[in-house]
């Protein structure tokens, strides 16, 4: 899942890989449902996913993350020790897509207190939210791993009250023995996770909405099993939430008698107030959904990560400021998945990193450039303004995955030159490749926009010869005319991209013909 694949696992692999020089490691980042499918079909050894219920065909270990509030460094709330939910009123809130569990918890909490943000910008990846926060666009509630992985990006982190969080599971196939290599990797992961999520401040006793929901479900359905089914989570997750609530309130809520849960008198008294707080909440949720559906307009975009993480945040914020009645949803997928979404009309427009002919879509070229070689500043090749392919003989190389359109071009160039790279790690996202390079895994050839964005993170970018072209294109459904909103957005995107590339240290040539 992107939460770990783009922020945390590159560091884990950087610790793990040196001790296993002969192992071939592939890091693939997918949505949680795809991860579960890959584990069940044994296409991977270890998977990480946010799941509501654990399939009995998998082994699982559940981890919990308490969220933090990410703020621009100069924001007035950054002076406080803790950010309260009431502080979010009239703020620009950067939130995840509507089905995200953390967003649902936050929306329910704000609706119960009749709070509304000034504006909500939707993103699908934590790194997008962090870039927007770092540029002063708004504030975001994030998991601690993503927040701390990019805490150097002109933002500050504060505890958020009441506590919100989410669970993710480490998954392995039940019918397949876990290899010794996978067991060692899991051990390294556990050590890194324990350090990464340890809070640097004293956490106060606070009750969160998920604990109350779990308590209410157990009171209504009388068993943990039925409560878990109703909440679409695992039984251990419900037990943990109820246990956390008991810890925070300071008294027992249930007693077990012959396999049944018997509420204590204190639980019955607490439940009366809980039930009053939930009266009308379903109606409020339905009303809010209807309001959202009757806004002035909605722009659904599907985009490759390289543009979504680097070129779009500033442009989307400016576009949204000029069109406050428009809701923008930005979904991040591989270029191939973007094509599928556009062809099946699941979005209004797509942005990809390839050129092709496909009768189901209309392609509009935006910009073209050459792949850049990224490395740490202390790498021996960093002193060269241009790196020749011969210089990479025997170098540790972080490769883009086989599903990337540019991967065959890269492999062909090296095969024709007779140059052998040490390819021990590959990934399908250029941002993950840069994170691996930052972690010391080697060098990588990536698209020029992503390369330029990582200069501020400490990487250096060099020209590479022979040049390998990379193309950015907009994609529209072939059998549905684009709306005026889509056309205006694409026109502004061309101008914004031209300005960004002209100002960057990576020169590109632009093609904005239709």
The answer to whether the CB of 112 falls within 8 A of the CB of 139 is: no
- What average pLDDT score do residues 32-44 get? 87
β pairing state of 155-161 and 83-84: parallel
pLDDT digits (tens, 9 = 90+) for 131-178: 888 888 899 998 777 776 665 567 888 888 777 766 778 888 888 888
- What average pLDDT score do residues 491-503 get? 79
Interatomic CA distance for residues 367 and 351, integer angstroms: 11
CA distances from 470 to 338, 350, 370, 445, 452 (A): 17, 17, 6, 11, 14
pLDDT digits (tens, 9 = 90+) for 50-96: 766 667 788 877 777 778 889 988 888 888 878 888 888 888 999 88
* Cβ partners under 8 Å of residue 200, min gap 6: none
Which helix (H) or strand (E) element contains residue 362?
strand 361-370
Tell me which of 276-285, 340-349, 394-403 is least confident.
276-285
Q: What is the mean pLDDT of the chain?
A: 82
- What average pLDDT score do residues 421-446 get? 92
Q: How confident is the model at residue 412, as a pLDDT?
A: 94
Question: Residue 35: helix, strand or coil by DSSP?
Answer: helix
Tell me which of 138-147, 367-376, 436-445 is least confident.
138-147
CB-CB neighbours of 310 under 10 Å: 23
Q: How confident is the model at residue 510, as a pLDDT?
A: 35
Q: How confident is the model at residue 286, as a pLDDT?
A: 55
pLDDT digits (tens, 9 = 90+) for 317-367: 888 888 877 888 898 888 888 888 898 888 899 999 877 777 888 998 888
Query: Which residues are bridge partners to 426 per DSSP?
Result: 26, 399
Q: How confident is the model at residue 505, as a pLDDT?
A: 46
β pairing state of 119-123 and 396-400: unpaired
Mind spelling out the 3-state secondary structure of 302-369?
A: EECHHHHHHCHHHHHHHHHHHCCCEEEEEEECCHHHHHHHHHCCCCCEEEECCCCCCCCEEEEEEEEE
Q: How confident is the model at residue 436 (pLDDT cuts 50, 70, 90)?
A: very high
Give the distance from CA 396 to its chain's centroid: 27
Vertex 503: Cα angle to 500 and 506 (nearest 5): 90
């Amino acid at each position: 899942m992107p939460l770990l694949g783009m922020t945390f696992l590159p560091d884990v692999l950087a610790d793990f890989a040196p001790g296993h020089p002969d192992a071939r490691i592939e890091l693939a980042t997918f949505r949680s449902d795809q991860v579960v499918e890959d584990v069940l079909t044994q296409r991977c050894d270890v998977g990480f996913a946010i799941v509501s219920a654990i399939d009995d065909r998998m082994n699982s270990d559940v981890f919990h993350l308490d969220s933090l509030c990410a703020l621009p460094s100069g924001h007035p709330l950054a002076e406080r020790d803790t950010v309260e939910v009431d502080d979010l009123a009239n703020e620009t809130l950067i939130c995840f897509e509507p089905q995200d569990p953390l967003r649902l918890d936050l929306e329910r909490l704000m609706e119960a207190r009749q709070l509304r943000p000034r504006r909500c910008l939707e993103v699908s990846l934590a790194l997008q939210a962090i870039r927007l926060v770092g540029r002063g666009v708004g504030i975001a509630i994030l998991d601690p791993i993503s927040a701390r992985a990019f805490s150097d990006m002109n933002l500050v982190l504060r505890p958020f009250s009441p506590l919100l969080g989410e669970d993710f599971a480490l998954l392995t196939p039940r019918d397949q023995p876990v290899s010794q290599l996978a067991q060692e990797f899991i051990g390294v992961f556990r050590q890194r996770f324990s350090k990464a999520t340890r809070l640097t401040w004293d956490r106060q006793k606070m009750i969160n909405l998920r604990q109350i929901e779990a308590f209410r479900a157990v009171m209504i359905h009388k068993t943990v099993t039925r409560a878990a089914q109703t909440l679409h989570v695992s039984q251990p997750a419900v037990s943990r939430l109820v246990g956390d609530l008991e810890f925070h309130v300071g008294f027992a809520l249930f007693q077990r008698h012959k396999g049944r849960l018997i509420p204590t008198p204190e639980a019955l008294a607490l439940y009366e107030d809980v039930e009053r707080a939930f009266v009308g909440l379903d109606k409020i949720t339905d009303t809010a959904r209807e309001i959202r559906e009757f806004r002035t307009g909605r722009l659904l975009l599907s985009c490759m990560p390289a543009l979504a993480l680097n070129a779009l945040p500033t442009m989307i914020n400016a576009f949204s400021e000029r069109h406050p009645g428009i809701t923008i949803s930005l979904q991040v997928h591989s270029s191939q998945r973007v094509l599928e979404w556009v062809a099946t009309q699941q979005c209004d427009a797509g942005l990809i990193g390839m050129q092709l002919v496909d009768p189901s879509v209309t392609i509009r070229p935006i910009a073209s450039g050459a792949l850049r070689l990224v490395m740490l500043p202390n790498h021996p090749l960093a002193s060269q303004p241009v790196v020749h392919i011969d210089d990479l003989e025997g170098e540790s190389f972080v490769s883009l995955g086989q599903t990337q359109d540019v991967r065959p071009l890269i492999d062909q160039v090296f095969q024709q030159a007779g140059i052998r790279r040490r390819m021990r790690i590959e990934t399908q996202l250029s941002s993950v490749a840069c994170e691996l390079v930052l972690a010391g895994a080697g060098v990588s050839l990536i698209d020029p926009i992503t390369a330029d964005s990582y200069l501020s993170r400490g990487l250096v970018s060099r020209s590479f010869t022979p040049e390998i072209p990379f193309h950015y294109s907009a994609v529209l459904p072939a059998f549905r005319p684009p709306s005026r909103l889509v056309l205006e957005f694409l026109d502004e995107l061309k101008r914004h991209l031209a300005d960004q590339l002209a100002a960057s240290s990576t020169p590109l040539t632009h093609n904005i013909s239709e």
